Every structure is written in structure tokens, then in C-alpha cells.
Structure 1
Amino acid sequence: MTARFPLPATVDIPQVIVVTGVMAAGKSTVSQLLAERFTRGVHLRGDEFRRMVVSGRVDMTPHGDPEAERQLALRHTIAAHAAHLYAEAGFTVVVQDLFVGRSLEPFLAQIPYRPLSLVMLAPEVSVVMRRESERVKKGYGDNWSIRDFDHRVRTETPHIGLWLDSSKHTPEQTVDEVLARLEQARID
């Protein structure tokens, strides 16, 4: 059993924690474990809103597509509103999604609830490559190169909140570190 650090007194208050990072960075696993650490926790998976579109969905590509970008913005708006409503109802909400480049700050601006934190999972490219090869769900392929996507995240995304190299951590250790450094993740 993994030793868990005690939660700081300010952690178990309703709040919104946004977890992002490249595909295969561990967002789903870490977000689920993080939400489970709270007395009243919600894991809000932004990708669920994408999957709800059963016809007419246009997925993002590196080349940009206005309709894909419009649908991504809609998905982010829905996630922001849902996060705010859950937090107002007394839950700590862990929002997990891809927020790359200029999409991050408009998303955060749509969440009026405070405290608001951001965690960017930023493992080394070699670790992402290994994780991608081991998982069933594939995020990369013909459209995305792991190196190019990682470079885009690191160079085009605002460096706010907590950027965490989780390369040498288990998911549980990553959650422990997020909780220990939650004040550094605050963006409000």
C-alpha cells in the first residue's frame, strides 16, 4: 500500500483543480485518484463532452480546422460551467482535458469559482512514448507526433500553475506531490 500524506487543512474545501498535459501524460489516472482524495470529489472528464457528439463531430488535428476548434471551445465551455456548478454545490472538481496553447486561458477565464488551480503533467517525452505504447487508447498516430505535440505544449501554453515532471512518479506519488504543492498550482 502506498503511504499517503495527510491533506493540508485547506485542501478539503470546495475548489476547482484543472489537470492537463500531453496525451499519455497520465491525466485520466491522476485525475481520478486526485478526486478520490477529497471528501466530496468530482472527476470531470472533458473528453466525455466530445464523445457525446454522435454525428458531425470534427476532431482536432495539427493543421487546424475551424469547425474542430469551434467544437473544442464548446466542449471547454460546457466543462467550465459544469465545474463551476459542482464546486458551488460543495464539491472539489478535478477537470481533466487537453488545454494546449491559446485554449488554456479562455477556459480558465470561464470558471468564476475560487480557489482555482492548474496542474500541467509534463513527463519526459521518452516516458510519454513508453506510456503510449502500453495503452489501448491511442492519442498519437498519423496526425500527431509525440515530440511535436510535447514541444507545442511546452512552448505555446502559458506557464502558469504547477508544471510537474511526473516521469519518475507512480500515479499515487504524483497525486501526493500535487496535494503537497497545491498552493503553487493556484492561479487566482
Structure 2
Amino acid sequence: MTSCRGGEDGTVENVIILAGPPGAGKTTVAELLAQRFERSVHLHTDDFWTFIKRGLVMPYLPESHTQNETVMDVVAGAAAGYAAGGYTVVCDGVMGPWFLHPFTRRGIPFHYVILRPDVETTLARATARDPDRYLTDPGPVRDLHAQFAAQDGYDGYVLDSSGLTADQTADAVYAAVRDGGHLFKQGR
């Protein structure tokens, strides 16, 4: 068990964001990854939407933008709080670059890994999940995959996990974080 390294000056960087479309394997990999650190927290961002009891707008709809910004701000605050307490935070969710501002605004150094299996693998995984708990509709899943694929300037953060098991993906993420290769830099 280790702490999370990767800062250019040798500092400990305690926040890892595992992003990607639904069905990319984020939650499974986040659970495996969190087990590798001595003190860790897994923030599953899907849970933060379930805290909204009235007035929830499905987060993949265009009209959910303001709600989604609020939720991401709360997630960033939780991540910052746990990290300040000495925990390595593994945060997983559909967190495209458009949702990173709450983290950068707080000055939270973080590792950013986009799990982006090919669209066929993503659709197969997403549509096989429990529809009562997860987004399984192929239309929004395909749209979200396309949004992650269209992010120019972020290819250095992408891990194609199409042919990898969850354990192999966790190994690859851990190695990238340990080596500092996915430490987020604005405008990279």
C-alpha cells in the first residue's frame, strides 16, 4: 500500500479523477485502484446525483447544465476535503474536461485519466448493466462516448481499455499516476 505520487516537485498529489463515458469501467477500476492506497476514498459521482430528491434533471440532458455544475462543485469540495485529510481520493464519473473547473479553481492538483474503450466495447458494457441503477440507453451512451472522443488536446490523458480486463486497467492507471504522466496541466 502506498500514497499517491507524481508531483513534479516530489509532493504527494492525492486526487485521481477517472473519467469516461458510461460503460467505460470507471467504477470497477476505481474500486480496484482505491484498494492500492493505505488511506483512500472512492467518490462515485453517480451517487451525488441521487442526493437530489426533487427537481433532478437527468445529467445527460442539455437542460441539466446548471445542476451538473453544482454537483461537480460539491464533488470537488468533497475531494478537496478528503485529500486535505491525507486520503488518496479516487473520483470516478462522466467527468469530461468541461467539468474540471471546480478542481482547478480550488487549486487541487489531480491526476486525470480518461478511460475510453472503443464505442462497441463501451456500448456492450453499458447496455449489459442494471437499467435501474445505470444509464443503459444506447443513444446517450453513444453521444457521451462521442463527446469524450472529440476533446482535442486531451489525448495524453486517454487510456484505451478496450482489450483490457479491469485489473489490467487498474494496473495501467496506477502506473500512469505513479509516474506522474496524467497529472493535470491546464492547456496540456
What TM-score range do you get, normalising by the shorter chain? 0.7 to 0.9
Flag structure 2 segments of 5+ consecutive residues without an equivalent: 7-11
Structure 2 residue corresponding to 1:87, chosen from 83, 86, 93: 83
CA contact (8 A) 2:18 2:92 kept: yes
CA contact (8 A) 1:123 1:166 kept: yes
Which residue in the other structure is 1:128 paired with? 122
CA contact (8 A) 1:16 1:95 kept: yes
TM-score normalised to the size of structure 2? 0.83
CA contact (8 A) 1:83 1:111 kept: no
TM-score normalised to the size of structure 1? 0.83
Q: How many residues align?
A: 177
1:130 shift after superposition: 1.5
- Structure 1 residue ranges, 4+ long, deviating more than 4 angstroms after superposition: 6-9
Give the Cα separation in 1 of the matches to 2:147 and 2:159.
17
1:29 shift after superposition: 0.4
After the TM superposition, which residues 66-77 of structure 1 pair with which residues of structure 2 at under 5 Å, given as runs? 68-77=64-73
Flag structure 1 segments of 5+ consecutive residues without an equivalent: 1-5
Identity rate of aligned residues, in percent?
28
Which residue in the other structure is 1:3 paired with? none
1:156 shift after superposition: 3.8
Distance 1:9 1:59, change over 3 A: closer
Indicate the RMSD between aligned Cα atoms, in angstroms. 2.5
Deviations 1:122-155 (A, max 9, x none): 0011111221232114424275152x32122211
CA contact (8 A) 1:19 1:119 kept: yes
